[in-house]
Structure formats: structure tokens, C-alpha cells
Chains A and B, each alone.
Chain A
Amino acid sequence: NAGVTQTPKFQVLKTGQSMTLQCAQDMNHNSMYWYRQDPGMGLRLIYYSASEGTTDKGEVPNGYNVSRLNKREFSLRLESAAPSQTSVYFCASSEVHRAVAEAFFGQGTRLTVV
């Protein structure tokens, strides 16, 4: 059981380049999320998708777009990368049971923008 799979694991971009981070989950969860983690800042929500066909902004959405391709896949796109987007990106998925939403995380993507 793979859980949540992210690709790539590492990426170096030049300022202004674009890229898409891929995420897939095999737990049949309805909700999926993209977080970024920076030193001293904790995990911050970029975008989330409560269910297939819906997406919503989180705490730090500027500079990003997302696509919920189907129930399994949720991608994050950087249209014009900036050094401020250097971070570790985590995809997560969850299912809500009695108002409890346990999130399961992928292994992360370490992105460096130079």
C-alpha cells in the first residue's frame, strides 16, 4: 500500500521557470492538500481540495495553481518560480470521520529556486 506518492523528490529551478508537482493517493480519500514547510514557519496550507471537482485557497496560495485531476490525483503548479518558493512541499490526503480528519502525508518534494 503506497499511501501518498509525490514526484519528483528533488528539483532545482531557475527563477521564472515553471513546473508541476504531482501527487497521487491510493487510500480512496476525498480530501487532498498541498502544504509547504519552511524552517521556523511550520507547515502552511497552500491549497486544498475537499472533494473531487473542488479546490480552495489555503493560507499561502499566491504564486501557485492546483488541479484536482480525479479522486486520486492533485497537482500543484508553479507558473513562474521565485526564490521565495524554495521550500519543502508536502501533499497530504484525508477522510473525515465524525469531524476528525486525519491527514496522511507524502514523502515531500525539496524544491530549490535559484
Chain B
Amino acid sequence: QKEVEQNSGPLSVPEGAIASLNCTYSDRGSQSFFWYRQYSGKSPELIMFIYSNGDKEDGRFTAQLNKASQYVSLLIRDSQPSDSATYLCAVNSGYSTLTFGKGTMLLVSP
């Protein structure tokens, strides 16, 4: 059984701070890793993906991958109240299917 683990939160940070979201996965054969954002009552939307060890930056978002530790994280710099949402980590282990974590709720207070 492939598993993706996330803390459910909520993770509370003040506006302007760095939010750090973490995810671990069980399948060492996993190839690519995704972060989705889901606002309450809405569908998940892709923020970014990463498939090589190291960091990948996109605007205020940085994804970090450590395959040896089976760990992937998402950093959100200069957090805004509009970033308040549930963040889903997803892992691609098979040909095209994704296994999702249960998500971490992020609350950014003004």
C-alpha cells in the first residue's frame, strides 16, 4: 500500500512569514511529486511539481525533494491570507496515477 503522510494541521502563521509544509511517502520507486492547493469547497489546483532532488522555486513557492529520506516539502514565502487553504501532497508512483496525502490546512492571519 503506497502511503503519503501529511500533518493535518492547522498550521497557523502570521502574514509575511514563511509557511513550511511537509510530506513523507512510502514508495521508494516514486518518480514525481506534486503540491496542490485546495480552497474550501473548491477543486484542487496544481501549484508545482518536482522530480529531481533539491529545490525548485516558482515565485513565492519552493518545493524541496529528498528522495533518500523520502521527504518532500513546500515553502511559501511572504505568506498572505489568500494562501489560507488545504495543501495536498501527491506522489506519482505508477504510470500515471497519483496517490494523495490527506492534506495540511494552512491558516495565515493578517
Contact = CB atoms under 8 A, between A and B. Distances in A.
Interface in A35-86: 35, 40-45, 48, 50, 58
A102 interface: yes
A108 B97 contact: no
A99 B31 contact: yes
A109 B53 CA distance: 36
A80 to B, nearest CB: 27
Interface in B74-110: 88, 90, 92, 95-103
B33 to A, nearest CB: 9
Q: What is the interface of chain A mostly: helix, strand, loop, or mixed? A: strand
Contacts, number: 62
Contact of B46 (A48, A58, A102): A102
A7 to B, nearest CB: 14
B55 interface: no
B32 interface: yes
A25 interface: no
Contacts of B8: 40
Contact of A105 (B44, B95, B96): B44
A45 B51 contact: no
A58 B96 contact: no
B43 interface: yes
A105 B43 contact: yes
B95 A96 contact: yes
Most-contacted residue by chain B among A31, A43, A107 (CB, 10 A) = A43
A103 interface: yes
Nearest to B103: A42
Given A104-B46, A106-B43, A45 B97 contact: yes
B96 A94 contact: yes
List the 4 closest A-B pairs by CB distance, nearest first: A42-B102, A43-B100, A105-B43, A101-B96
Interface of B: 8, 31-32, 34, 42-46, 49, 51, 88, 90, 92, 95-103
Given A96-B96, A101-B95, A103-B46, 12 more contacts: A33-B97, A40-B8, A42-B100, A43-B88, A43-B100, A90-B43, A101-B97, A103-B90, A105-B43, A105-B44, A105-B45, A106-B43
